[in-house]
Amino acid sequence: MNTFNASKVRALALAFAVFGILACIAFAPRLLAQRSAAASAPDSRGKQVYDAHCVECHGPEGKGDGPAAHLMTPRPRDFTRGRYKIRSTESGSVPSDEDLLRTVRQGLYASSMPGWQKLLPDDDIRAVVEYVKSFSTRFAAEPPVAIPASATVPSSPQSILRGSAVYEKLQCGKCHGTDGHGTGAAVTSFEDDWAQPLNAADLSEPWTFRGGATSDEIYLRFRSGMSGTPMPSFKDSANDGEMHDLANYVVSLARKPLWDMTAEEAAAFYARQDAEAKANPVKRGQYLVDTLGCTLCHSAVDEHKRLIPGLRLAGGLRIHVAPYGEFTTGNLTSDKETGLGNWTDDEIKRVITKGTLRDGTRLLPFPMDWASFSTMKEDDLNAIVAYLRTVPPVRNKIPGPSWTFLPVHLWGKFNVLILGGDPPLTFYGGNAGSAAEGK
């Protein structure tokens, strides 16, 4: 094949190359433009603010399932439902823009929702509210229905007296107690419409009222109801005047907060608190478990640190502690086989206070901080046990500690103690226990 000699091949190759380059030059701007449109369409300001400040609780998709969500009561709002508790709109209506702006600016008092007005410019707050609304189709479909203005009733002994009769008539005491503090209440812990835990408000502590503690703000809670919770709207069972009287009565139930007390009052307050803890060990135990951070490690989470549904307190979080070994957090539910169901009270207290497992194995003093937990009073330890007994059983068999092979362990120590190395603690997503994920 002499016709295809070397110079011809070279010429052909050159022609192809030139054609290729020309084609690239011709199409590149269009290709690049497409690429940048797909990859770096700038996020809206609202999304930027949301991603920077809101996802830890409300989750990236607004479902109220961020990493922090399962650790707190009440849980953060799921924006995709478009249902909100703190509103100035009629029962069943979406909140007004002003309602949402107020919540973001001022926060929901005594909850994890902080007031952002000192932290973010108002334009950012407006942008993030628009973005939050976009998670639900309700806002586009239904305009908010404002509650018509009603004549407020100024507080007076007569109004408060009338309000106390309304309190009886509407049976507020069933959840809030005869004194607003839960005394004599049938039940004070609930689940909302999405099976998330929720406590009845303590009406003697106005600084914990999420939507504010003025008479007018309290009136709005009666009138609009708290969507998704057992707190209904009383629009059909009481008139506006009665609801204003009731609000005045609730304001009158306020007690002094600790920080305004005299020393004698504070002593009496703490004595009462301790007596209540003793009388209700399960509630006290839950308070300790929720606040000590037990739920943080003893619940398996996914690779985004979000609770794997159903595994609260069921253990399964894998932690590698160099150079010691690998440890999986225990199943604290009452399951007899894989949880604490068959442990005696003393065995549970021994692991909490001495870091010593049932078979006598000792744990490291971290990450399970049994040395700190050991400073608790016996009553508190008993309360924790009492609460853990009530945690519904979840079958999740946890592998025992896996200690590092001795020579590797000694080398690791040599690295730390002699060479000044710095070995990490590593936490893994996923459930290391036997339960299938998501069950």
Partner 1 sequence: MKKILKWIGLAVLVIAAGGLMAFLYYIPPFFTTTPEEFSATMKSAAPPASDIADPLQRAMAERGREIVVRTGCIGCHAVNGPNGPDYTKYLGGGGIRIHSPTGTFVSRNLTPDPETGLTQRSDDEVKRVLRSGVFPDGHVVPSSAMPWANFSNWTEEDRHAVVVYLRHLKPVRHKIPDPIIRPEPLEPGVIERDYAFKDYGLPEK
Is there binding between residue 352 and partner 1 (CB under 8 A)? Answer: no
27, 194, 366, 403: which one binds partner 1 (CB under 8 A): 366
Distance CA 411, CA 362 (A): 22
Nearer to partner 1 (CB atom), residue 60 or residue 232: 60
Residue numbers 13-52 binding partner 1 by CB under 8 A: 52
CB of 11 to partner 1, least distance (A): 49
From the list 229, 297, 303, the residue with the least C-alpha distance to 74 is 229
Residue numbers 297-326 binding partner 1 by CB under 8 A: 301, 303-305
44, 47, 60, 67: which one binds partner 1 (CB under 8 A): 67
Is there binding between residue 68 and partner 1 (CB under 8 A)? Answer: yes
Q: Work out the number of other CB atoms within 10 angstroms of the CB of residue 92.
A: 12
Residue numbers 237-266 binding partner 1 by CB under 8 A: 257-259, 261-263, 266
Is there binding between residue 270 and partner 1 (CB under 8 A)? Answer: yes
Nearer to partner 1 (CB atom), residue 27 or residue 270: 270
Token look-up 């269009």 returns 30
- Cβ burial, residue 211 (10 Å; 0-12/13-18/19+): buried
Nearer to partner 1 (CB atom), residue 170 or residue 296: 296
Q: What angle do CA 50, 55, 59 make, to 5 degrees?
A: 120
CB of 412 to partner 1, least distance (A): 9
Phi/psi of residue 397, nearest 5 degrees: -75, 130
DSSP-assigned letter for residue 260 = G
Radius of gyration of the CA atoms of the chain, in A:
30
From the list 253, 390, 279, the residue with the least C-alpha distance to 334 is 390
354, 389, 395, 397: which one binds partner 1 (CB under 8 A): 354
Element at 240 (helix H, strand E): helix 240-252
User: Contact at 8 Å (CB) between 221 and 211?
Assistant: yes
- Cβ burial, residue 34 (10 Å; 0-12/13-18/19+): exposed
Convert residues 199-238 into a mask of x (bound to partner 1 by CB under 8 A) and - (unbound).
------x-xx------------------------------
CB of 223 to partner 1, least distance (A): 26
CB of 336 to partner 1, least distance (A): 27
Residue numbers 93-152 binding partner 1 by CB under 8 A: 107, 110-114, 116, 119-120
Is there binding between residue 282 and partner 1 (CB under 8 A)? Answer: no
From the list 402, 396, 400, 393, the residue with the least C-alpha distance to 433 is 396
Is there binding between residue 402 and partner 1 (CB under 8 A)? Answer: no
